[in-house]
Amino acid sequence: MKKTTKSNSKNIYLRGSRIPITFLFDYIKKGYGISDFLSSYPWIKKEDVIKKLEEFEKEEISGRYAF
Amino acid sequence: MPSKKSKLHLYADECIPIPSIIYLKKKGISVVHAYDINFVKKPDIIHLKKSKQLNRILLSLDKDFKKFKEFSLQNHPGVILISTGDVTPESINKILDKSFKHVTESSAKDSLTLVTIDKIIRERDGEITKKTI
Is the pLDDT at B76 greater than 70? The verdict is: yes
**Count of Cβ atoms closer than 10 Å to residue B36 Cβ:** 13
List the pLDDT tens digit at each of the 67 positions of chain A.
333 444 444 566 666 568 988 999 999 999 999 999 999 999 999 999 999 888 877 776 666 777 7
- A27 occurs within a structural domain: yes
- A53 occurs within a structural domain: yes
Exposed / middle / buried, residue B2 (Cβ in 10 Å: 0-12, 13-18, 19+): exposed
- A41 occurs within a structural domain: yes
CB nearest to A19's CB, from B15, B88, B91: B15
CB nearest to B35's CB, from A26, A39, A42: A42
Binary contact (B19, A39; C-beta < 8 A): yes
- A67 occurs within a structural domain: no
Binary contact (B86, A43; C-beta < 8 A): no
pLDDT at A6: 41
pLDDT at A2: 39
Question: Can you tell me the ipTM of this complex?
Answer: 0.87
- A46 occurs within a structural domain: yes
> Could you list the residue range(s) of the whole structural domain that residue A35 is in?
1-62
Is any Cβ of chain A less than 8 angstroms from the Cβ of B118?
no
Domain with A41 in it: what CATH number?
1.10.10
pTM, 2 dp: 0.86
| Total tally of structural domains belonging to chain A | 1
Give the best residue of A10, A30, A36, A40 to mutate against chain B (max B CB count within 10 A): A40
Report percent pLDDT > 70 for chain A: 67
Cβ neighbours of A27 in B, within 8 Å: 87-88
